[in-house]
């Protein structure tokens, strides 16, 4: 079983080519073996993504018709609120037919689940963007 939750809904933010931050949702529909499928939605339209997940290194690579994403997973447990935060972050490259084709940027996606066991140690404190995308996702879902 993969350490990345599936199915799951994530808040995502991206930057590319010095453009303003764009917020949206990222859905992981399945993780089967090392194959990831899902959707990304930035402007009201679900865009299919597919990619690879490496459980050993916690690395992800995904493709959409408009961008290539690569990144890694970090967990951050907060026992005081019984929450496990999942944080995917990394680099992206825009591709045709995007008007930003060739431009590079960054992305961060977060989701959280109830912490049901003991907390695991995380070597990194998550960036502020992790909590912002999590808050935006929760506000959008009516939680």
Q: What percent of the chain has pLDDT over 90?
A: 57
pLDDT of residue 136: 55
CA nearest 52: which of 67, 66, 38? Answer: 38
8-138 CATH choice from 3.40.50.2000, 3.30.460.10, 3.40.50.920, 2.40.128.120? 2.40.128.120
* pLDDT tens-digit map of 71-103: 999 888 888 888 888 999 999 999 999 888 999
For the chain, which residues score pLDDT lower than 50?
A: 1, 141-143
DSSP classification of residue 125 = P
* 3-state DSSP assignment of residue 118: coil
Residue with tokens 């961008």: 67
pLDDT of residue 79: 84
Residue with tokens 């992981």: 28
Query: In this structure, what token pair is assigned to residue 71?
Result: 């990144």
């Amino acid at each position: 079983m993969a350490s990345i939750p599936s199915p799951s809904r994530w808040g995502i933010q991206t930057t590319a080519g010095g453009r303003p931050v764009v917020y949206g949702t990222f859905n992981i529909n399945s993780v089967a073996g090392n194959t990831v499928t899902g959707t990304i939605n930035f402007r009201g339209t679900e865009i299919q993504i597919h990619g690879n997940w490496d459980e050993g290194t916690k690395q992800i690579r995904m493709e959409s018709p408009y961008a290539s994403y690569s990144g890694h997973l970090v967990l951050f447990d907060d026992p005081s609120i019984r929450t496990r935060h999942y944080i995917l972050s990394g680099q992206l490259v825009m591709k045709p037919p995007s008007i930003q084709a060739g431009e590079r940027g960054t992305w961060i996606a977060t989701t959280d689940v109830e912490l049901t066991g003991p907390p695991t140690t995380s070597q990194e404190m998550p960036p502020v963007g992790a909590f912002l995308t999590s808050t935006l996702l929760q506000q959008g879902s009516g939680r």
